[in-house]
Structure 1
C-alpha cells in the first residue's frame, strides 16, 4: 500500500491547503462528480435512489442540483441495510468496520478500505495538526474512550512508538493517568473537552501544574469558550478544536486565527441546508456531508445531524479551505417547557453566561415537565450571588413555575462512551 503513488498522493494533499480557493473548489467539484459517477455505477443504494429521483450523475451541474438528490441517514448505516452502501468493487469481509457509540440513540457502523483509512487516520489528521504547529516526533498524549487493554495494544505498535504517540484510557484512575502523564511529558494533548477539564480539576486539587505543552487539540464534543479558556489557561498554550465524526473522521479544523473551522474540501463536500435550500452565509443550517475519498462505502448527502453555519469570513492563516462557524448543536436536540421547544445550546449558553468562570463543569437535567436539576463542580469563585443569578436567568428562560434544584458535586460522570452531555432530559 505504501508505494510511490501513496507518497505522491500524500504530498498532493499536503499542498492542497495553500492553493488558491477557486482552485480548491474546482478540485472539490471534480472529486464530487467522480464520486457521484462511481457510486451510481458501483453502489446499489445510490443507483436505486438516483433512478427513483429520475436523475443521473450528469444531471448534477451545480450546488443547487445536489438538493435534488435524496439524503441518507443513520438509519441506512444500521444492520443489513449498510451492505447496500458497499461498492461492488470491494469484498465486504475485507473492509474495516468503525462503529459509533450510539450517543444519539442510533448506533451505526461504517466500513473502510485500508488505503482510505490511511489517508483519513494519518494524512488528514497529520496535515491539520502540522499546519497548527505539530512537528514529527513531538511527544503526543491522546486521551481516548478505549479500554486499558486496547490502549496497551495501540501503544505497543511500532509506528506509534516511533512517532512518540502515547494513548491514555479515560477509564483509568485519575491517579494512574497523572503518574503516566507526568512521566511522558507530552508537548501535544488530544482529547474530549469534558475529560480534559475533569483531568485539570484533578491536577489542580492536587496542586500539580504543567507548562510543557505546545498545543491542545479537542474533538468529539461541542466546545464552548469557557472550556477553551479553562484548558488554555491551565496548560498555558493554544487550543485547536476539530469537528468530525466516526463516519468521516476529521471534517474541519481550527487554525491559529480562530475565525472558524477550515473544511477539508479535498476530502468532503459540505452542504448547509435550511428548509430544503442552500442556506445563506452565517445562517444556522443543517450540515449534509458527502465523502470524496472513500470508495468502499461512499456516503453521499449524509445527514450527520449537526447544525452550523457556512462562513463569509476570509482567513489570513495561509490555508484557503472554506470556513464554517458556530457548530451550535444537534438537529432536534431540545427540551420542552410549557409546550415551547428550547434548543440544548440555548440552555447551555444561559448556564455559561450565568456561571462564567466559577465552575469546572455543569450538567442540566430535566427530571419532569416542572422540575430540573443543575449539577455543578465549582471553584472558589462560586458564591450564593452566582447561584441566585443562575436561577434567575433560568427562570426567565424556562419559566418561574419550574422547580430548579442546584446541587454541588465532587464529580459528574460522563456517558459510558466517554463523551459528556451537559444538557439532557430523562423524559426523552
Structure 2
C-alpha cells in the first residue's frame, strides 16, 4: 500500500522518466515490450505489472546501453561500485546531475548546521589517492581545507596518529564510514581525548544506534546518517529526530517482498538522471518505507534499513587491525594507473594470523599485464600489512557468491568457525 501512495505523489515525474527512457535509452527501447498509456490511465498497477525490476547483473552486462542517446558518453563522469555482487559497475552522471545531487546533499547538511560551507575545514576518509604513477594508501593527507584519513590501518598507534591530526586540524565537520569513526571514538573515549566537531556525517555502511550514540558523545556533535550508493549518490538523509528521509525530489523507492530472502528489498527509480537512468533497480539492501509526519524534513517518506553494508575489519600478526577495503582501494587505484579494468573480481581469505590468500579473477584482455600487476599489487599491500605476512596470489575464473546473500564477500576469515561455503572457498 505504501508503494502505491508514494507512487501517486510522484506519478508525473515517474511518467516523464519512463517516457524519456522509451524514447532515448537503447536498453529500454529494445527490451521493454509495452507502450505507455495516457497519463490519466497510468497507475501503480500498470507500473508494477509492466515495468520489470532491474538486476545489477543486467546493468553490468549492458552498461553502455543505459546511456541516453542525447548524451555523449565521453562527456559524462562515472563512479565505480565496489562489486560486492560481482564485477564493479560504472555509474554515469552528467555534470548537470552531479551538480543537482551535490546541491541537494548540501541542503541536507545545512539542516544540521545552517551556515556550513564548502570552504569550511573538514575531515574525510579515503581508500586511495594517486599522484601520477604513485599510489597513496596509508598516509594522512592535507589538501587545502580537507584532511584525508586513510581507511586501511586501524591499529592502536595509527588511531593515535589520526586523532592527533584531527585535533590539530580542527575540522568543522567530518564524513565517513560509521565503523572507522566509531573506532576513533572508542579510542578517544578510553584515552580521555577531548574533541569537538559540529557535524559528523556517517555514510557507506549500515549504522547502529550504539555507534551513533558513542560518536555523538565523544565528538560532542550532531550526527547525520547519509544513505547512498554510487549509482544514485544520496538516497536518504536523516533529520535531527533520527528519521532517515527519502530524497524524493530525485528518487522513487519501493519496498518489495522477496520470497527467497523472506524480507523486503529496496527498489530504486531515478527521477533526475536522464543521462544514465535506472528504472526499478534492485539496489541490494533490505528495508521498508513508512510515511510519517515530521516537522524536521520536507519528505514524509522514511526508510527503515534492516541490514546493510558493514565494513570488515580483521587482525593480523603484529597487532595489526586492518580494514578489508584495503584490497578494494589498492586494486581500483592500480587499475586507474593502468588505465583499464585489470581485475574483475577479487576475494581475500585469511587462513592464519600471518597468512592470506588473494584470489583474483583477471580481465584476460590485459593478460600481458597480469604478472607485473600482481607484483605491484603485492608491493602496495605490504605497505599496509608489513613484510612478515605470507601472501599467496591465486588466479581463478570466477568467485562464487555466498548462496545465502547472493553477494561475493571481499574478505573471509577462515580462522573462525565457518560454514561449508567458506571452507569451499579454499578449493
Query: TM-score with structure 1 length normalisation?
Result: 0.65
Structure 2, unmatched stretches of 5+, are 1-5, 330-408
Corresponding residue for 2:389? Answer: none
Between Structure 1 and Structure 2, how many residues are aligned? Answer: 317
- Residue segments in structure 1 that go unaligned for 5+ positions in a row: 1-23, 277-282, 334-347, 349-360, 364-374, 377-408
Whether 2:273 is the aligned partner of 1:289: answer: no
Q: 1:40 touches 1:57 (CA, 8 Å); kept in 2?
A: no
Partner of 2:125: 143
Q: Is the 8 A contact 2:151 2:325 kept in 1?
A: no
Matched, 1:180 2:165: yes
Alignment of 1:327-406 (within 5 A): 327-329=305-307
Pairwise mapping of residues 222-371 of structure 1 onto structure 2 (< 5 A)? 222-258=206-242, 260-274=243-257, 285-317=264-296, 319-329=297-307
| Alignment of structure 1 residues 60-209 onto 2, 5 Å | 61-68=42-49, 69-78=51-60, 81-120=62-101, 122-137=102-117, 138-147=120-129, 149=131, 156=143, 161=144, 164-171=145-152, 173-204=158-189, 206-209=191-194
SS at match of 2:252: strand
Per-residue Cα deviation, 1:88-142 (whole angstroms, up to 9, x for no partner): 011112211210111344421111111111112x202101111122523343222
In the alignment, which residue of structure 2 is the partner of 1:414?
A: 324
Quote the residue 1:404 is aligned against: none
**CA RMSD of superposed structures (Å):** 3.7
Distance 1:209 1:70 in 2: 53
Change (3 A) 1:362 1:165: closer
Cα distance change, pair 168–57 in 1 and its aligned pair in 2 (3 A): farther
In the alignment, the residues of structure 2 paired with residue 71 and residue 139 of structure 1 have an alpha-carbon distance, to the nearest angstrom, of 42
165 and 410 in structure 1: CA distance in 2 versus 1, 3 angstrom threshold: closer
**Aligned 8 A contact 2:236 2:245 in 1:** yes
CA contact 1:99–1:108 (8 Å) conserved in 2: yes
Deviations 1:350-385 (Å, cap 9, x if unpaired)? Answer: xxxxxxxxxxx997xxxxxxxxxxx89xxxxxxxxx
Deviation by residue 1:310-363 (Cα, 9 ceiling, x = unmatched): 11432121x231333321125xx9xxxxxxxxxxxxxx9xxxxxxxxxxxx997
Quick check: 1:45 aligned with 2:30?
no
Q: 1:312 to 1:118 in 2, by over 3 A?
A: closer
- Partners of 2:411 and 2:293 in 1: how far apart? 32
Q: CA deviation at 1:422?
A: 11
| Per-residue deviation, 1:45 | 1.1
